[in-house]
């Protein structure tokens, strides 16, 4: 059976709807009942990040060193968590995923490993963080937000209390990284306002070229500031080290944030 132009290799249902795994031209993708790809993996290059927006989320590496602890809200096929485990041997990752069936598919179809450095909690990401923030103060160098269903961002993340909790659990040199959809302009503008208020406007946005995704970055107060030259040089070095187009993304960063770079990350 074919669906979304590809071969449907798995279909199941849970209380929250349909889950589909489709293969097309050597790429396996997870869908939640629509053509939107929740996660993808190239079968002959499983170690690489396939989707542009997930590679763009790795731009945090231009600004800070390797992390020790990361929190991921929204697992999908697990490509981001798997990549972090592969590239950073010292990292400890905590993932919060709403749907237990998504975790099963990430393991069975997308290569998410059983690894003692990876802890997965089943539950609502927004509720989890708001209820536990006081016990996780300054605990994570990185917090990743990528919690979407077929209709958009999870409702429990759409409030200022959630982003207050994100700021609380970040270390003083930590970075919040989140996937946003530019098509939902009111929500995008509201989240940008919340982030600006909470992080004292130390925020940047990276539109992913040719896509509807915008990756938001919010910086804690002690993220080291650098010059444009230093950041550009680091992006070029990272290009080859991680096989990700950091220098291209950096150009987009500068082009879209030129008027606020000095206040945010530049020395």
Could you state, in order of their start, the residue ranges of all structural domains in the chain? Answer: 46-264
The predicted-structure confidence for 233-250, as pLDDT tens digits, reads as follows: 999 999 989 989 999 999
| Res. 150: pLDDT tops 80 | no
Q: How far apart are CA 163 and CA 123, in angstroms?
A: 18
Whether residue 149 has pLDDT greater than 70: no
Percent with pLDDT over 70 in the chain = 97
131 vs 154: which has the higher pLDDT = 131
140-145/69-73 β-pairing: parallel
Q: Out of 146, 164, 239, 243, which one is annotated catalytic?
A: 146
Distance separating alpha carbons of residues 28 and 25, to the nearest angstrom: 8
pLDDT by residue (tens digit) across 166-214? 999 999 999 999 999 888 889 999 999 999 999 999 999 999 988 889 9
What CATH code is assigned to 46-264? Answer: 3.40.50.150
Q: Which of 53, 61, 60 is nearest to 207 (CA)?
A: 53
- Tell me which H or E stretch contains 132: helix 125-132
User: Rounded CA gap, 50 and 24, in Å?
Assistant: 13
Q: Which residues of 189-218 are buried (b: 16+ CB within 10 A; e: fewer)?
A: eebbebbeebbeebbbbbbbeeeebbbbbb
Q: pLDDT for 8-63, tens place per residue?
A: 999 999 999 999 999 999 999 999 999 989 999 999 999 999 999 999 999 999 99
Pick from 50-64, 72-86, 148-162, 190-204: least confident: 148-162
Q: Which of 3, 1, 12, 6 is nearest to 104 (CA)?
A: 12
Residue 148 has pLDDT above 80, yes or no: no
pTM metric for this prediction: 0.95
Check if 146 is active-site.
Answer: yes
First to last CA, the chain: 56
């Amino acid at each position: 059976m074919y669906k979304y132009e590809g071969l449907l290799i798995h279909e199941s249902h849970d209380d929250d709807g349909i889950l589909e795994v489709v293969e097309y031209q050597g790429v396996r993708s997870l869908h939640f009942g629509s053509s939107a790809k929740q996660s993808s993996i190239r079968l002959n290059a499983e170690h690489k990040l396939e989707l542009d927006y997930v590679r763009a989320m790795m731009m945090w590496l231009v600004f800070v060193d390797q992390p020790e602890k990361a929190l991921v809200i929204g697992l999908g096929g697990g490509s981001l968590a798997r990549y972090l485990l592969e590239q950073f041997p010292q990292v400890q990752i905590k993932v919060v995923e709403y749907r237990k069936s998504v975790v099963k598919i990430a393991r069975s179809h997308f290569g998410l490993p059983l690894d003692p450095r990876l802890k997965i909690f089943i539950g609502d990401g927004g509720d989890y963080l708001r209820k536990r923030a006081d016990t996780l103060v300054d605990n994570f160098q990185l917090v990743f937000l990528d919690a979407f269903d077929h209709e958009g961002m999870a409702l429990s993340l759409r409030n200022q209390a959630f982003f207050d909790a994100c700021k609380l659990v970040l270390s003083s040199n930590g970075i919040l990284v989140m996937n946003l959809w530019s098509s939902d302009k009111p929500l995008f503008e509201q989240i940008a306002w919340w982030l600006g208020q909470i992080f004292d406007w130390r925020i940047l946005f990276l539109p992913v070229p040719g896509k509807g995704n915008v990756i938001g970055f919010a910086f804690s107060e002690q993220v080291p500031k650098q010059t444009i030259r230093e950041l550009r040089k680091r992006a070029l070095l990272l290009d080859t080290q991680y096989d990700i187009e950091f220098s291209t993304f950096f150009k987009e960063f500068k082009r879209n944030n030129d008027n606020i770079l000095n206040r945010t990350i530049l020395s």
